[in-house]
Amino acid sequence: MKISVYNQEGEEVGKQELNPAIFDIKIKPEVIHQVVVAQMANARQVLAHTKTRGEVRGGGKKPWKQKGTGRARAGTIRSPLWKGGGIVFGPTKERNFSQKINKKVKKKALFMTLTDKVKSNLMIILDKFFLKEGKTKEFLKVLNNLDKLFPLINKKSQKKNILIAIESKNENLVRATKNVSGIETIRADCLNVIDLLKYKYFLIAQKGIEKIEETYLKSNSNK
């Protein structure tokens, strides 16, 4: 399985052979959905918290004596029955929304998503991604060069939607893309299903492809 490789000027410079174990597997939407739900649940922050009668401030003194007043017995003004008292069944910070997902299933879902990018012609491979000064203007020039070759990425779209995978630390590229709306950079060894689905187009250098194979097939080769 081979796809074209281009340089930053938008010229075809060769072909890249893709490992079918990653970029050409059977796609099962239910597996991808399972992983997406688990990833979102594990990233969920528990913010809502209501105080119980033991957490509400005050109420240490018995409001009136037990007998002889004609009123109902009361031990604290922070009872859930009172205004300003504790909440009985409200949300608390002790809730746990995390879900366990099998590592093999998670990896398969990632491969399925990458396969879909390739088969949908949404993955673009460059021979290298190099910016001298790390300026936004320099980065946009590269995108304009790619516009001429790929109608999927064009200036007329309301918002660019591209995920760029880098094989190693690239401060210039990260700095140049910060001010560009709809552009996100990620390490090739830290890919995840949600980011690949969130961004329509996937831009990566040849060394990034090697990094993906090295990272995600390493465990299989050791067995």
Assess whether 34 and 52 both reside in one domain. Answer: no
Assess whether 23 and 106 both reside in one domain. Answer: yes
Please give the chain's pLDDT, 223 residues, in tens.
Answer: 789 999 988 888 899 999 999 999 999 999 999 999 999 999 999 999 999 999 999 888 999 999 999 999 999 999 999 999 999 999 999 999 999 999 999 999 999 999 999 999 899 999 988 888 888 898 888 888 888 766 655 555 546 789 999 988 888 888 888 888 889 999 999 999 999 999 999 999 999 999 999 999 875 544 4
The pLDDT assigned to 99 comes to 93
What ranges in 127-205 are assigned the alpha helix state H?
A: 136-147, 171-177, 193-198
Taking CA atoms, 78 is separated from 62, 70, 129, in Å, by 10, 20, 63
The pLDDT assigned to 155 comes to 54
- What is the end-to-end Cα distance of the chain in Å, rounded? 25
Assess whether 166 and 60 both reside in one domain. Answer: no
Assess whether 215 and 149 both reside in one domain. Answer: yes
Assess whether 92 and 115 both reside in one domain. Answer: no
- Domain with residue 146: its CATH number is 3.40.1370.10
Assess whether 125 and 193 both reside in one domain. Answer: yes
Assess whether 90 and 113 both reside in one domain. Answer: no
Assess whether 67 and 29 both reside in one domain. Answer: no
Radius of gyration (C-alpha) of the chain in whole angstroms: 27
Q: Which domain holds residue 156?
A: 2-44+98-221
Assess whether 152 and 117 both reside in one domain. Answer: yes
Domain boundary among 96, 114, 137: 96
Q: Which tokens in the block code for residue 11?
A: 């010229």
Domain boundary among 96, 116, 131: 96
pTM: 0.81
Q: Which tokens in the block code for residue 221?
A: 């080769």
Assess whether 71 and 169 both reside in one domain. Answer: no
Cα torsion angle, 180, 143, 128, 123, sign = positive
The pLDDT assigned to 223 comes to 45
Assess whether 15 and 122 both reside in one domain. Answer: yes
DSSP 54: T
Assess whether 92 and 102 both reside in one domain. Answer: no
In the chain, DSSP assigns E strands to: 2-6, 12-17, 123-126, 162-166, 183-187, 201-205
- Rounded CA separation 184/119 (Å): 22
Please give the tally of structural domains in the chain: 2
